Structure 1
Amino acid sequence: MSRTAPAPITATLTVPGARLYHEVRGSGPLVVLVGAPMDAAAFAPLADRLAADHTVLTTDPRGTNRSPLDDPDQDSTPELRADDLARLVVRVDAGPATVFGSSGGAVTALALVQNHPGLVRAVVAHEPPFAALLPDRERFLAQTDDLIATYLGGDALGAWAKFMAQANIELPEGALEAMFGGHRDPRVLADERRWFAHELRGTVAWRPDLRALRAAADRIVVGIGEGSAGQHCDRVSRALAAALGTEPVLFPGDHVGFVGDPERFAARLRPLVR
């Protein structure tokens, strides 16, 4: 890939209750890269690599960064975000989309193929965090309520510590304070607060329509980071693949491998989006 990839075309689409910032790169079959709460910027290096032979759409999910809401207190649900993606896919008008969704974006992508199957050619669901398929789901949701209350009570570091423990993610000593302590960008803090207050629980509490997903199982790939073994999203991904009667596909890196090594990640993803 050239290191001087063309700048993306940027635009805003007005949808019910929000204005969706999005970027379009390249030409060819449509690939959508989406997260939640991650915004378009997190996917830019991966998008640049795929844009050599694809039209690549990235977006800030509603309520995040450059996609403001009419009502800032509106909760974000996978169904609502999937409806937004459906409108963006129609707007780009480059045919059915292959959708790569990571974390909460994987839940969005699953809701999209479940509710708008005609717009989707394939879905790569990379490490979705929803708990519905796990035997300890009630305990997990209770823990989620507790860590949300901790954050909204003013203890951000305590909430993140509980989140990492719940996700079974081990950080080096001092990493939590370095990542989430001290002075931080006000916009990042605003997005973080919205995620805790209005998005996290709706995402992890999502209940898939397994009948609809099984009907589309030949179009769904479940992805797991090679470095995510034993983590919550690894457990969820394996449970989802088992429910669909498929085998998960391993990707380079961990939960955010596409950020740490977009070159290797793109090489693994490219055969799937073809």
Structure 2
Amino acid sequence: MELGFLTVPGAELYYELSGSGPLLLLIPGGTDDSRDFRGLVPLLETYFTVLTYDCRGVSRSRLIGTPTGVPVETQAEDAWDLLSQVGGGPAHVFGTSGGGQTGLELAARYPGAVTTLVTHEPPVARFLPEWDTRRDVVPGVCEIYRRQGADRAMEAFVSGSGLTDVLDPVRHAPESPRATLLAQERAVRMRGNLDHFLSRVLSFVVDYQPDIDALEASGTRIVVGVGGTSRNQFAHDTGLALADRLGTSPVAFPGGHAGFVTHPVGFAARLRELLGA
């Protein structure tokens, strides 16, 4: 495995590169980092050259200069810099949650850069129906964060977006003891990245609206993934809304919103199937 740092405007990005075959970029969600793919990467690197990283301001990817908000467009520029300077060419891309939003902007902004994009439960709130109150949860969450801190803000986000059963130990039980350990370790890392996520990332991610026309013109094959056990949850429903806008059928992955952590074996098999490996 090659480990390194790539300096980009305003940040230094930690990345990992391993395996052989067609290039596959894995983009983590808002509070996640490349370690959240530890169960997935060994099951992919026989078929692909796998590139993943910590997004700017998250875990090992430090910000340079005065910290500012991180729009999805900036996240896409980071992904492009990694692809062009580290990966060396066009790639399949898998992005989950906020990383799914980044993948959509990357494909729209750089036609030809992304061969196949699998965007897993991207929180495209603006594509939900006008009557759906979950469209407008985030501004209140950000205000609670400013006044009362991260823990209360996340309580409000979980309640307001219908995620109250996301940690249900029966509905979302990991596929193995190792996956259980990976999920527990992920929870600790998420807490360490929560302030950055709430103060600089969340509002941009949820307000982002993909350019459907640009995506259709990009030449990228786009697959929208949803969790098999996350029905009626916020990000599952936004995934369905995106698939409807694109005129495609969503593909179910094992597990819920974090199925890549809790069900890595089944998740990797579905991803390989979609990418023709």
Task: Flag whether TM exceeds 0.5 (same fold).
Answer: yes
Q: Does residue 254 of structure 1 match 2:262?
A: no
Partner of residue 226, structure 2: 224
| Greater relative CO (CA pairs within 8 A, separation 6+) | 2
Partner of residue 214, structure 2: 212
- Is the 2:126–2:209 Cα contact (8 Å) retained in structure 1? yes
CA distance in 2 between counterparts of 1:211 and 1:70 reads: 34
Partner of residue 6, structure 2: 13
- Aligned residue for 1:208, secondary structure, equals coil
Q: Does residue 36 of structure 1 match 2:29?
A: yes
CA distance in 2 between counterparts of 1:192 and 1:113 reads: 27
* Cα drift, residue 160 of structure 1: 1.7
CA distance in 1 between counterparts of 2:86 and 2:166 reads: 42
- With over 3 angstroms needed to count, the CA separation of the structure-2 counterparts of 1:143 and 1:51, relative to structure 1, is same
CA distance in 1 between counterparts of 2:227 and 2:20 reads: 28
Q: Does residue 263 of structure 1 match 2:265?
A: yes
Q: Does residue 143 of structure 1 match 2:137?
A: yes
Partner of residue 237, structure 2: 235
Partner of residue 65, structure 1: 59
Report the TM-score when normalising by structure 2: 0.86
1:99-248 correspondence to structure 2 within 5 Å: 99-136=93-130, 139-140=133-134, 142-171=136-165, 189-216=191-218, 219-248=221-250
Q: Does residue 89 of structure 1 match 2:91?
A: no
Match of 1:55 among 42, 49, 52: 49
- Is the 2:150–2:194 Cα contact (8 Å) retained in structure 1? no
Amino acid at match of 1:205: D
- Is the 1:33–1:47 Cα contact (8 Å) retained in structure 2? no
Q: Can you give the 5+ residue segments of structure 1 that lack an aligned partner in the other structure?
A: 1-7, 176-184
- Is the 2:134–2:234 Cα contact (8 Å) retained in structure 1? no
Percentage of pairs with the same residue: 39
CA distance in 2 between counterparts of 1:137 and 1:82 reads: 30
* Cα drift, residue 139 of structure 1: 4.5
- Aligned residue for 2:119, secondary structure, equals strand
- With over 3 angstroms needed to count, the CA separation of the structure-2 counterparts of 1:244 and 1:26, relative to structure 1, is same
* Cα drift, residue 136 of structure 1: 3.2
Amino acid at match of 2:252: L
CA distance in 1 between counterparts of 2:213 and 2:136 reads: 27
* Cα drift, residue 151 of structure 1: 2.0
- With over 3 angstroms needed to count, the CA separation of the structure-2 counterparts of 1:115 and 1:137, relative to structure 1, is farther
- Is the 2:134–2:161 Cα contact (8 Å) retained in structure 1? no
* Cα drift, residue 71 of structure 1: 3.1
Could you list the per-position Cα deviations for residues 238-267 of structure 1 after superposition, in whole angstroms to 9, with x for gaps in the alignment? 111111111000000000001001011101
Amino acid at match of 1:14: T
CA distance in 2 between counterparts of 1:145 and 1:113 reads: 28
CA distance in 2 between counterparts of 1:173 and 1:245 reads: 31
CA distance in 1 between counterparts of 2:229 and 2:89 reads: 34
Higher mean C-alpha deviation, range 228-237 or range 99-108: 228-237
CA distance in 2 between counterparts of 1:72 and 1:187 reads: 23
Amino acid at match of 1:24: L
CA distance in 1 between counterparts of 2:223 and 2:189 reads: 34
What do you get for the CA RMSD once the two structures are aligned? Answer: 2.3
Amino acid at match of 2:195: R
Count of equivalent residues: 258
* Cα drift, residue 53 of structure 1: 1.7
Higher mean C-alpha deviation, range 151-160 or range 48-57: 151-160
Amino acid at match of 1:15: V
* Cα drift, residue 210 of structure 1: 1.3
Could you list the per-position Cα deviations for residues 61-106 of structure 1 after superposition, in whole angstroms to 9, with x for gaps in the alignment? 0111111111352111111011111110112344311100000000
- With over 3 angstroms needed to count, the CA separation of the structure-2 counterparts of 1:136 and 1:157, relative to structure 1, is farther
CA distance in 2 between counterparts of 1:93 and 1:190 reads: 28
Higher mean C-alpha deviation, range 144-153 or range 47-56: 144-153
Higher mean C-alpha deviation, range 131-140 or range 47-56: 131-140
Q: Can you give the 5+ residue segments of structure 2 that lack an aligned partner in the other structure?
A: 170-186
CA distance in 1 between counterparts of 2:119 and 2:242 reads: 10
CA distance in 1 between counterparts of 2:93 and 2:167 reads: 36
